[in-house]
A and B are shown apart, each in its own frame.
Chain A
Amino acid sequence: MTELTEIEIRALKAIKSSPDGILQSELWKELDVDSRKCSRIVKKLLESESVERIEYRQDGIKTYRLIVRKGPIDPGFLMAGDELIPCVACELECVIEECPFLLDWMYQLAIADAGGKE
């Protein structure tokens, strides 16, 4: 896969900046390029599989909504060593800054990180 150029990285950042992505018709204005150049940038991003596009109609005109492509979610993200994060199915009032259960989990995470266990 070829590396992205500076303008392609700027485009990718613009697409990532919103969970709903960005319309291609807005992207070329934001990048201050013409629509043809923008199409080439988008083509490169699509080829790199970092974004996907969904057809979208705005005032009857066809454009595309560009959204960032999510990778597969590793269920292990919820684990620290053998410990599942306490937030899953937690029914306590969430005071995340002072949660002692999360603190315990964070210790496990630091130990697992230090030991390269995960």
Chain B
Amino acid sequence: MATFKEIQNTHPAITAYLHRLVGDEGMDLIDKFPENEEHSDEDLAAMTDINLNSVRNTLYTLYEKRLAEYRRIKNNETGWLTYLWHLEGANIEPAIAQDVEVVLGKLKNRARYEEENDFYICKQCGITITFNQAMDLEFKCPSCEEPMDHFENELLLRALQNRIEVIEDSLGLV
């Protein structure tokens, strides 16, 4: 079975996705996490030289997506509990699939908004507003008061619709 890091390296989008979740220090932990081993957060902090709080934050963030999981063991003499963590590479694809479904809903909402509205842009400030908002402002930029120009959003809309279509196709929704 492929390891977490092997799966991570199969697509730049997976690396970008993980980086967004856990940041630079989190990626450092993933990079230094011994393959197919389980360790406590304190051991991981010691062996990677990453701050313990940062190790914990990363593990909890990964755990929310089931990309890290733990096994709890109890010391019968002291009664202390130790959590042994490991990375769960098999859950990367399901986690991304779940996010893709959420993203699909957002893209559809945005595409509908782009389709239903006419837009005006200030070429000085880059501010874009709808026709109704522009009407209220007498077609002057709300920031610099320069006259606003019609903004053609056709390319943006088409790009959104293309992406929606390939996602829906992949999810078997069309």
Contacts and interface: CB of A to CB of B under 8 A. Distances in A.
A50 B172 contact: yes
B14 to A, nearest CB: 5
A78 interface: yes
Chain B interface helix/strand/loop/mixed: helix
A5 B128 CA distance: 47
A27 interface: no
A102 B108 CA distance: 13
A102 B12 CA distance: 20
B125 interface: no
Contact of B170 (A16, A70, A94, A107): A70
B156 A106 contact: yes
Contacts of B21: 88-89
Contacts, number: 102
B106 A72 contact: no
Contact of B13 (A72, A78, A113): A78
A52 to B, nearest CB: 10
B100 interface: yes
Interface in B7-24: 11-14, 16-17, 20-21
A87 B102 CA distance: 9
B167 A77 contact: yes
Interface residues of B, number: 35
B6 to A, nearest CB: 14
A60 interface: no
Contacts of A84: 13, 16-17, 20
A109 interface: yes
A96 B106 contact: yes
Interface string A43-82: 0000000100000000000000000111111111111101
Contacts of A7: none
Nearest to B10: A75
B171 interface: yes
B159 interface: yes
A77 B11 contact: no
B13 A70 contact: no
Contacts of B113: 96-97
A76 B173 contact: no
Contacts of B109: 96-97
B47 interface: no
Nearest to B105: A96
A73 B155 contact: no
B97 A73 contact: yes
Interface of B: 11-14, 16-17, 20-21, 93, 96-97, 99-100, 102-103, 106, 109-110, 113, 128, 155-156, 158-160, 162-163, 166-167, 169-174
